[in-house]
Amino acid sequence: MTQYHVSASAGSPAGIGSEVDPFLTIGQAAAIARAGDEVIVHAGTYRESVDPRFGGESETNRIVYRAAEGEPRPVITGAERIDTWVPEGEGVWRAEIPNSFFGGYNPYVETVFGDWTVYPDPKVEVRHLGDVYLNGKSFYEVSSLDKVREPERWDIGRDAATDSIVPLLDPDATVNVWYCETNDETTTIWANFHDADPNAEATEINVRETCFYPSRPFVNYITVRGFELCRAACPYTPPTADQVGLIGPHWSRGWVIEGNVIHDAKCSAISLGKEISTGDNDSTRTHRKSGYQYQKEAVYKALHVGWRKGVVGGHVVRGNVIYDCGQNGVVGHMGCAFSFIEGNHIFRIGTKREFFGWEVASIKMHAAVDTVVRGNRVHDSVLGMWLDWQAQGTVVDANVFYRNTRDVMTEVTHGPITFTNNVFASEFSFDDYAQGAAFVNNLFAGRIRHTQVLDRSTPYHFPHSTDPAGEAFVYGGDDRYLNNLFMAVGGAGEAERMTDAAGGEGVVDTGTACFEDHPHSLAEYERRIEEAGLGDEELYRSIPQPMTLASNTYLNGAKAASWEPDAVVCGEAGALSLRETDDDELWLAVTLPEAVRGATGPVVSTADLGQPRIVEGYFEQPNGSPIVVDRDITGAARGERSARGPLAAYPADEVLVWRSGAAS
Asked whether 401 and 576 are in contact (CB, 8 A), the reply is no
Distance, in Å, from the CA atom of 595 to the CA atom of 518, rounded to the nearest integer, reads 28
For residue 159, the model assigns a pLDDT of 56
Lowest mean pLDDT among 147-151, 318-322, 409-413, 452-456: 147-151
Higher pLDDT, 493 or 452: 452
Residues 6+ apart with CB under 8 A from 183: none
Superfamily of domain 79-206: Golgi alpha-mannosidase II (2.60.40.1180)
For residue 120, the model assigns a pLDDT of 61
Higher pLDDT, 507 or 439: 439
CB atoms within 10 A of CB 505: 11
Separation in Å, CA 424 to CA 73, 204, 318, 568, 578: 33, 38, 21, 20, 12
pLDDT at 66 over 70: yes
Residues 6+ apart with CB under 8 A from 38: 1, 2, 3, 4, 63, 64, 66
pLDDT at 162 over 70: no
Lowest mean pLDDT among 21-25, 223-227, 488-492, 555-559: 488-492
Domain ranges of the chain: 1-77, 79-206, 432-664
Nearest Cα to 244, choosing from 266, 222, 260?
Answer: 266
Judge residue 329's burial from the number of C-beta atoms within 10 Å of its C-beta, 0-12 exposed, 13-18 middle, 19 or more buried.
buried
Task: Tell me the average pLDDT across 235-246.
Answer: 98
CA angle 618, 619, 620 (to 5 degrees): 95
CA angle 54, 60, 61 (to 5 degrees): 30
Say how many CA atoms lie within 13 Å of 526 toward its Cβ: 5
Task: Tell me the average pLDDT across 558-587.
Answer: 96
The residue length of the chain stands at 664
Same fold, 79-206 and 432-664: no
Higher pLDDT, 321 or 152: 321
For residue 507, the model assigns a pLDDT of 76
pLDDT at 271 over 80: yes
The average confidence (pLDDT) of the chain is 93
CA angle 481, 486, 492 (to 5 degrees): 125
Asked whether 267 and 247 are in contact (CB, 8 A), the reply is no
CB atoms within 10 A of CB 219: 23
Buried b (16+ CB within 10 A) or exposed e, 434-459: bbbbbbbbbbbbbbbbbbbbeebebb
Summarised one tens digit per residue, pLDDT across range 74-88 is: 999 999 999 999 999
pLDDT at 502 over 90: no
DSSP 557-570: T----TT-TT-EEE
Summarised one tens digit per residue, pLDDT across range 581-639 is: 999 999 999 999 999 999 999 999 999 999 999 999 999 999 999 999 999 999 999 99
Task: Tell me the average pLDDT across 141-152.
Answer: 86
For residue 165, the model assigns a pLDDT of 52
Asked whether 297 and 291 are in contact (CB, 8 A), the reply is no
Separation in Å, CA 128 to CA 96, 245, 378: 17, 16, 27
pTM, entire model: 0.96
pLDDT at 375 over 80: yes
Confidence band, pLDDT 50/70/90 cuts, at residue 551: very high
For residue 106, the model assigns a pLDDT of 98
CB atoms within 10 A of CB 122: 13
Can you say how many angstroms the Cα of residue 537 is from the centroid of all Cα atoms in its chain?
Answer: 34
- The topology under which CATH files domain 432-664 is Pectate Lyase C-like (2.160.20)
Distance, in Å, from the CA atom of 561 to the CA atom of 516, rounded to the nearest integer, reads 5
Runs of H (alpha helix) within 493-623: 522-531, 537-542, 594-597, 606-609
Distance, in Å, from the CA atom of 32 to the CA atom of 17, rounded to the nearest integer, reads 10
Task: Tell me the average pLDDT across 90-102.
Answer: 97
